[in-house]
A and B are shown apart, each in its own frame.
Chain A
Amino acid sequence: MLQLLADLARWLTGPAQWQGSGGIAVRLLEHLEYSLLATLAGAVLALPLGLFIGHTRRFAFLAINLAGFGRALPTVGLVTLVFLAGGLSMWPVYVALIALAVPVIVTNTYAGMTAVDPDVTDAARGVGMTGPQVLFKVELPLALPLVMTGLRLAMIQVVSTATIAAYVSFGGLGRYIFDGLAQRDLVQVLGGAVLVAVVAVLLDLAMAGLQRSLFRNRPADAR
């Protein structure tokens, strides 16, 4: 056990491990690239949908059921399925990652919009604001903390799942996990796992910190 930890520490800190085309630095960048692109694309699709549902209260069942569906859908199956259907290119992985990000963002945006005090929106309409004005000047700013939470949760979920890109022969930090599993190299598998875990936790903490500093003046739902 101690020997294993020592090997692991050596693996994680060895300079050779960090450099080169298969080095940790490159893999880390690949991983972040997949995750950021997928989260961004997910946000572009999901934010308007969430805002629309939240503003009009139409199709609310969609926002509510999407969450349950997203939770029940086995990610591994989704990635495998899209990959088998889409062939050997990166876009099936993106499709799967985006499909993961969308429900979280939609439901949280919707939750943020419904949490806005109806008296406030009534008042906004009362002073003569149009629908879009109410949406962008009142509802969205008030819902922003929860919208941000949705983005953060989506991001973490995508970062975790981007590991699977390596399973279907692409890069990212999952490379070490799946190469290690194939080569029965426990140290490499563990090293990859540590890296993925550290990246996810650090990213979550960083984004939580960012949210806190952005919404410092908000009393409760600021996180």
Chain B
Amino acid sequence: MTAVDWGWFPEHIGDMTALTLDHLSIAVPAVFFGLVIALPLAVVAHRVRRLRGLILGASNVLFTIPSLAFFILLLPVTGLTRSTAVTGLTIYTLVVLIRNSVEGLDSVPAHAREASVAMGSRPLRTLLTVELPLALPVIMAGVRVATVMSISLVSVASYIGYGGLGQLFTDGFQRSYTTPVIAGVLLTLLLALLADGLLVGVQYLCTPWARSRTRTARTKTSRTRRTRTSTAGATTAPSTTATTQGKGV
């Protein structure tokens, strides 16, 4: 094993910046589209009990498909383009985003919803002004997990030529050169950490009412979710685990 070649880093700042931007141009749209698809599905799953199992189950099965296989199976449809990577990642974000959005909507206290209805709000207005804001902390927890996961998964797409920082892995592998691989791993971890921190900041700004009790609220979310697991039945059961789960390749 060759040790890390520190001289490589300053020489390749331009490359690393370009690859990081490329990386983000795959991961960010994936989470965005994932959210666009997941929110309506979550509302449906929340309102129509009968469809809940179907929606959660389907997203779960899709998540189980290994990502490399998924990218390849998309090839005949999307071709060798960036959209292959984005589409695959979008579908993986669904499982976390849908589940957390449903749980977030479930966690809205009935009295808040009823008060909104009693004041004459139509369902859509209740959803947008009462339910979604109150569900935001749980939804944001899902967005954070989905973002970190997407950032880490982009590198798998390097095998089909669109891997962002993952290009450093294939490059390093082909030349048996460790330094770019280490740089790629570190930059991916850093990017995930920064994105996660950024989302925490966004959530802080978006939920001014929760600020005085952010700390308790956050620890409470996990606890209430866990207790609900034992009361609300099987559909919410995998929740405690699936959010702690990563994705291989």
Contact = CB atoms under 8 A, between A and B. Distances in A.
B238 A149 contact: yes
Interface centre among B75, B177, B248 (most CB of A within 10 A): B248
Interface in A55-93: 67-78, 80-81, 83-86
Interface residues of A, number: 62
A104 B245 contact: yes
Contacts of B244: 67, 104, 107-108, 111
A26 interface: no
Contact of B159 (A67, A77, A85, A181): A181
B1 A85 contact: yes
Given A70-B246, A74-B155, A77-B184, A220 B241 contact: no
Contacts of B208: none
Interface of B: 1, 61, 64-70, 72-73, 75-76, 145, 148-149, 151-156, 158-160, 163, 165-166, 168-170, 172-173, 176-178, 181-182, 184-185, 188-189, 192-193, 196, 226, 229-234, 237-238, 240-241, 244-249
Contacts of A84: 1, 172-173, 176-178, 181
A127 to B, nearest CB: 23
Interface stretch (A10-18, A129-137, A155-163): A155-163
Given A81-B178, A196-B66, A221-B230, A164 B249 contact: yes
Given A157-B247, A174-B68, 19 more contacts: A72-B148, A72-B192, A73-B152, A75-B249, A77-B168, A80-B170, A83-B173, A84-B178, A86-B1, A104-B245, A111-B226, A150-B241, A157-B245, A161-B248, A163-B68, A168-B173, A189-B75, A192-B69, A220-B230
B41 to A, nearest CB: 20
A100 B241 CA distance: 16
Contacts of B151: 72
Majority secondary structure, A binding face? helix
Given A1-B76, A115-B226, A146-B240, A80 B249 contact: no
B217 to A, nearest CB: 17
Given A77-B155, A164-B249, A111 B68 contact: no
B66 A163 contact: yes
30 contacts: A67-B244, A68-B148, A72-B148, A74-B155, A74-B165, A74-B166, A74-B188, A75-B156, A75-B249, A77-B181, A80-B169, A80-B170, A80-B173, A108-B241, A146-B240, A157-B248, A160-B66, A160-B69, A163-B66, A164-B249, A177-B159, A178-B159, A181-B159, A189-B72, A196-B68, A220-B231, A221-B229, A221-B240, A222-B234, A223-B238
